[in-house]
Every structure is written in C-alpha cells, then in structure tokens.
Structure 1
Amino acid sequence: MFLAWREIKHTKLRYSLIALIMIMIIWLVLFVTGLANGLASDNASAIKESAASYFLIEKDSDNRFARSTVTEKQVSDVEKDLGKKATGLRVQMSTVSTKKDTNKTDVSYFSFDSTSFLKPELTDGHLGKSGSNEVVADQKLKNQGYSLGSTIKDAATNQTFKITGFTKKQTYSHTGVVFLTPVQWKEVQVPQKAADNTYNAIALDITEDKATTLNYSDLVTASKNDIVTNIPGYSEEQGSLTMMITFLYIIAAFVLTVFFYVITIQKVDQFGMLKAIGAKTSYLAKSLLSQIATLSVISLLIGNLLTYGVAALLPESMPFNLTPITALASSLLFLAVALIGSLLSLYRVAKVDAIEAIGGNN
C-alpha cells in the first residue's frame, strides 16, 4: 500500500484522469440503474407494495388483469374458505381531467372493499366517506397538478369524484391509481351504472404453503412477481435496461483493463529494478491491486455522491429509485470488475525479468 499510494501522489495528473474516467463510468451505471428501478416501480408499485402476497386469476389469462374475468360467485366461494384473507379486485385503465382544465391524465382505477387488507395507507388527507364521491389517489396525480379537494371527471362517463386523500407508491402501468368503492366502480362503467358484478382477480394475504394447496375451478394462483412481469411492456422495458447496464459493465471492464495494462507496461523498468533489489512478485502484485482498489473506492464514493446529488435535483415526475442496498451492490460489482480487469496487468508484472528490464542482456 505504501508503494501504491506514493506512486499515486507522485503522478497525480495521470491517476486523476483515470479516476475521472472511473467516476464517469460508475456514475452512468448507477444513474441508469436508478432509472431502471424507477421505471419498474412506476410500472408496478401498486402490485409490488400491495399487502396481497398472491392472486387468484382466470386460467389462460397469461396472468394479466385485463384478460381475466372472475365471477362474483367465485369471489364469494374463496372468501368463505379464506375469510378476511381474500378480497375481490377490479382494475381498469381510464382518463380523467378537472372541470377547469381540459388536459387529460391517464389513471388506473382499483376497486375493492375499503375495509379489506388492501386499504391504502394515506400520506395526506383522509379516506372517502361511504356513499360519497370522495376518492384516494396516488401522489403521482399530485405531481401532475391535482391537490386535496380537486374534482376529477372520468372521460368515458363524465362521472366526477373529489380527491380527499393521497397515498404513495401506488402506480400501475406508469399511471397513478385512483381507489374506488364498489359503488363508485359501477358509476365509471360504460354504459354508466351498468350492473358489473365481475372482478379481474382475487387478492390473497396467505403464505406460500397455503397458496400451493388452493384449487379452484377455472382459477390459477399467481404470485406478485407473476403479475408484475406480465404487465404489458414491463418485461420488455426492464430487459432493455438490464441489457444496457450489462453492456456498461462489460465496456467498463475492457476500458479499465486497457488503462491498467498500458500503465503497467510503462512501469516495466521500475518493476524490474524493484525485482533486482529483492522485491517479490507477490509484493508488486499486492501493490498494484492496492493501487487499483484505492482508485476504485475513491471513484465509487464520488460517483455515488454525484448520483444522489443529481437525483435530488430531478423533478418528482421522473421515476428514479436507487436504494442504498442497490447502490452498494452495484458499487461492489464495479469494484470486482476493476479488480478482474487488473488480471492482465498482474500477469505482465509476474513475467517481468529483472535483468532484462534493467538492460542486463545488452
């Protein structure tokens, strides 16, 4: 470590440039990772953050709510067996606007018994009163200009609702969720007030062992992950971003390998001199690894600070989610990539001949 740090201080410009490149790479990796997680959350947080652990959904629906129809009798049968651990769930995409503003906002309607375990946790306001037109909405609508007391109008039926509460992390297919009571649900059906007694799924608050024992005709048990990965566009979106992040790591490995190898070649004479005066290859290898690890750790710290600093300046409408655990995992992976990239340099150090390096064969 002494030799590694002394060399870094002696050639500040060279190692500062290398550190700058490493900072830019890790910054890009962390930022894209945060965007990927943010988009994933924006697409499916209403399911991921749900109190339900499993869902009963119609067979041959590919685990998609829009393709599933569950009858009222099926819901009743399951509720008789599981009691408060089961509740019917309805999901519908729609568009709303305010009376004063003609700009439209895409939303997702979620309807279920407000006394069930799926009742949303509020961050502001209060739950709507029974029999009223009061609703709770995700804070995404708040970011789009709606506030407590705002009146929203359904585009299909012109039915109006008053927002009396906000919740968070309740988005579906990149739209904010508006929670409706069963009565309100019927009011947004076309034709208006149509008697729609069907559901899209049955939400379950049960263990994995219990889920494996369920057997209902025409229904299959799906986990949260099954539902999330089958949201239209979710897998494709995440697959593209994951591939992008993977390629960033691959590019980082090649770039760092080349940089470290070039620097190692430039120091062949120095390594030869050190070997000639008795330095062991293992000592030189440790010194090189210490140097790379030091640069990587410093770059990772700065890269993380830059990422969270920029994230704090992003508008709330931009989905970005980078938890400390994810940042730590990405940083450790980047450190591993940097150390793996040093293997070629270590091989070159091991092959240095002391006599040849100092010109003893001339």
Structure 2
Amino acid sequence: MFLAWNEITRSKLRYALIISVMFLISYLVFFLTGLAYGLAQDNRTAVDKWQADGIVLSDESNTNINMSMIPLKSLDDVTAKEKAALGQTAAVIQLDKKGAEKVNASFFGINKDEFLMPDIVEGRAFDTDDETVVNNSLKEENGFKLGDTIKLAGNEKKLKIVGFTENAKFNVAPVLYVSINTFQEIRFEKVDTTENARINAVVVRAKEGAMKNVDLAGNDLKSYGIQTFINKLPGYNAQVLTFGFMIGFLIVIAAIVIGIFIYVLTMQKATIFGIMKAQGISGKYISISVIVQTFVLAVLGISLGLLGTVGTSFVLPTAVPFQSNWLFFLAIGGAMLVIAVLGALFSVRTIVKIDPLKAIG
C-alpha cells in the first residue's frame, strides 16, 4: 500500500489523467443508467401504483391493453381477492385557453371506491364525471394547476383538475384518472349505462399473490401476471435491453482502458522494477502494489463519476426522465471496480517475468 500510494503522490499529473479517464467513463455509465431507469419507470409507474398481482384482458389482445375490449359486466366473471375495473385510452389534451400547449396523455377510467384510485398529494379525488385527478408532472412541466379546465383534441369533453397524484405515467405519458362514465365518453363519445358498457381490463390482487388463485368464467378472458404485462408494454423491453447492453459494454470498455493504462505504466517502469528486484524486493510485493494502485485509482475515478452524476441530477430539467437507483449505481460501480482490478492482473504477469539483469541493462 505504501509503495502504491507513494508513487501516486509523486506522479500526480500522470495518475490524475488516469483518474480523469475513469471519472469520465464511470460518469457516462452512471448517467446512462439513470436515464435508462428513469425512462423505464416512465413506462410503468402508473402500473406499479396498482400494487396488483395481475391483469385480465380479452383473449385476443395479446397482452396489449389498447387492443383489449371487454364488457363491464365481465367484472362479475373474475373471482379474485380484490378486483377493479379499468378503462384506458390515449388522448391529446391542453388547457382550455388560447395558445395552450398540447400534451400527449393517457386516461385511466376507474371506480373511485376501488384500489386503483391513487393517493392524492394535492387537492381531492374526483366526485363527478367532469372532474379528474392528474399526474403532478403536468404541473411541474406544463404549468397545470388545481381548478384548471382541460379540453381534449377531437372531443367536446372538458374536465376540471381537482387533484394531483405522484408517479403516475403510462407509456411515458402522464395519466389522468377519471370515472368509468367519463372514460366511455372520451373513448366512444357516449356514456353507455347498459350491460354493453365496455372497459379494457380487470386488475386483480390474488390470494397469496398467486395468479393461480384467480378464476375466470368463459373463454374470452385471459389473465397475465403484472410483470408479464409490464414486459409486454410497447417498447419497454427494447429500451431496457438496449440500455442494458450499452451499459454492459461501457463497463467492459472502462476495465480495458484502465488495464491498458496500467500495463503501459508497468512497461515504462520495467527498469525500476528490475532494480527493486535486484535489491531483494519480491515480485509478489511489487505485484500487490500494482493491484492496490489500480484499486485506489478505480475507487477515486468511480466515486467522482458517481458524485458528478448525482450533482447533475439536481440541475436537469424535469422533462428529462432521469431517476437515481442506488442499488443499480452500487452494483455497476462494484462491477467496474472488480473488472478494472482483474485487468491489472495482466500487468502482474509482466512484473513476475521481469529479469533484473536485463531490466538494468
């Protein structure tokens, strides 16, 4: 440890460059991880709020809730610990004033007395078919306020904002919670109070969390575990896999880069190591010093990269889908550290093979 740290303090510029490279690479990896996690969460936060075990869709929907359409009376065909009706449709909304910005949104038609009703962080729950509870991103990014009136593109329906909830996005769009009747009016431009009224899904909480405890009557319905449903959301898996491979390759590249730096430095110091060996210092001691040195450099670079990422998260616009996940950050930082140290083992092989006489010349 003494030899490793002493060399770092005596060659500050050289090792500062190595730490800078580690900082830049780790900063990029952590930042991409935050973006990937944030983007993935923006696809599913509204689903996570359900705290459900599964969802029941029409048999022909292929897990696509937009393509599922079932009679509201099908709620009686589902037997589960808890169940809730859900209507879902996408729409374009804007404030009811001249020049207002248009926003892509997703409507959830629910019964306010069922478990799909979200927690209210400001205002109150909707009481009538002309009221809505919306995700607070509309307030932070688009300036929506309590009491504002929303109008829909291609529809005469207008809604009053009476409440805000947190973390409610579906397919990257903010969610607006409305009554089942309002959902039908938005989706079908009429309210159907007969047995032909339709919804998209039935969300269930199963006994003991097992979907095998959910019973369906009839052959036109099919149940899916909630994680299966999330994985089948359009674009979700593609995003997760793409960013996952990018981050994985960056970790490997970071390890290779630091390994190359250490290897080059080792070759430059071959003569010094030869003299040390001639003085009786063992190759094992020198090798351990090189590994410790790599460990110290990697820890400093990765720590600075993590601090830089956290600092950046405080100044990012709210529209950027960045979310910190410390479990991911620590796992990725640990992986980079381990692989970087493993990369230094190539330098150790060179040190062991150094002949003191040849090195001295």
TM-score range, shorter chain: over 0.9
**Aligned match of 1:110:** 108
Amino acid at match of 2:136: Q
1:57 Cα offset (Å): 2.0
Shift of 1:279: 2.1
Q: 2:308 aligns with which of 287, 306, 309?
A: 306
Structure 1: gaps of 5 or more residues: none
Counterpart of 1:141 in structure 2 is 138
TM-score by length of 1: 0.93
Once the two structures are overlaid, the 10-residue window that deviates more, 2-11 or 235-244, is 235-244
1:306 Cα deviation after fit: 0.7
Q: Distance in 2 between matches of 1:123 and 1:346?
A: 58
Shift of the 185–32 alpha-carbon distance from structure 1 to 2, 3 Å rule, reads same
Partner residue, 2:344? 342
- Post-superposition shift, 1:304? 1.1
- Corresponding residue SS for 1:63: coil
Amino acid at match of 1:235: N
Task: Look up the match of 1:165.
Answer: 163
Match of 1:62 in 2: 62
**How many Å apart are 1:339 and its aligned residue?**
1.1
1:202 counterpart SS class: strand
> Does 2:289 correspond to 1:287?
yes
- CA shift for structure 1 position 120: 0.4
Inter-partner Cα distance in structure 2 for 1:209 and 1:320: 31
Post-superposition Cα deviations, 1:235-274, rounded to whole Å, max 9, x if no partner, equal 2222222222122123212212211110111111122222
2:11 corresponds in structure 1 to 11
- Letter matched to residue 121 of structure 2: T
- 1:48-59 aligned within 5 A: 48-59=48-59
Using the TM superposition, give the Cα deviation of residue 290 of structure 1 relative to its aligned residue in structure 2, in angstroms: 0.9
On the 8 A contact 2:149/2:159 being kept in 1, the answer is: yes
How far has the Cα of 1:220 moved from its partner?
2.6
- The residue number in structure 1 matching 2:275 is 273
CA contact (8 A) 1:156 1:190 kept: no
Establish whether residue 353 from structure 1 lines up as the match of residue 355 from structure 2.
yes
Contact 2:55 2:204 in 1 (8 A): yes
Query: Given that residues 126 and 164 in structure 1 are in contact (C-alpha distance below 8 angstroms), is that contact kept between their aligned partners in structure 2?
Result: yes
Which of the residues 77, 90, 94 maps onto 1:93?
90
CA–CA separation in structure 1 for the residues paired with 2:252 and 2:300: 21
Residues 20 and 241 of structure 1: CA distance in aligned 2, closer, same or farther (over 3 Å): same
Matched, 1:319 2:312: no
The structure 2 residue matched to 1:227, chosen from 226, 229, 233, is 229
> Residue in 2 aligned with 1:242?
244
The corresponding residue for 1:198 is: 198
Residue pair 1:156, 1:188 contacting (<8 A) in 2 also: no
Q: TM-score, normalised by structure 2?
A: 0.93
Question: How far did 1:209 drift?
Answer: 5.7
Counterpart contact for 1:92–1:108, Cα < 8 Å: yes
Asked if 1 retains the 8 angstrom alpha-carbon contact of 2:37 and 2:325, the reply is: no
- Give the partner amino acid of 1:333: A
Q: Specify the code of the residue in structure 1 equivalent to 2:106.
A: S
Query: What RMSD in Å do the two structures reach over aligned CA positions?
Result: 1.8
Paired with 2:101 and 2:240, the residues of 1 have a C-alpha distance of: 30
Aligned counterpart in structure 2 of residue 183 of structure 1, from 160, 181, 184: 181
- Cα deviation for residue 301 of structure 1 reads 1.6
- What's the CA shift for 1:215? 4.4
The one-letter code matched in structure 1 to 2:211 is A
Is residue 53–residue 207 contact of structure 1 (8 Å, CA) maintained in 2?
no
User: Identity of counterpart residues, as a percentage?
Assistant: 32
CA–CA distance in 1 between the matches of 2:191 and 2:69? 19
Q: Aligned equivalents of 1:330 and 1:249: distance in 2?
A: 8
| Equivalence map 1:118-129=2 (5 Å) | 118-129=116-127
Question: 5+ unaligned residues in a row in structure 2: which ranges?
Answer: none
Return the alpha-carbon distance in structure 2 between the equivalents of residues 349 and 123 of structure 1: 62
Between the aligned partners of 1:193 and 1:42, the Cα distance in structure 2 is: 30
Query: Helix, strand or coil: the match of 1:338?
Result: helix
CA contact (8 A) 1:149 1:164 kept: yes
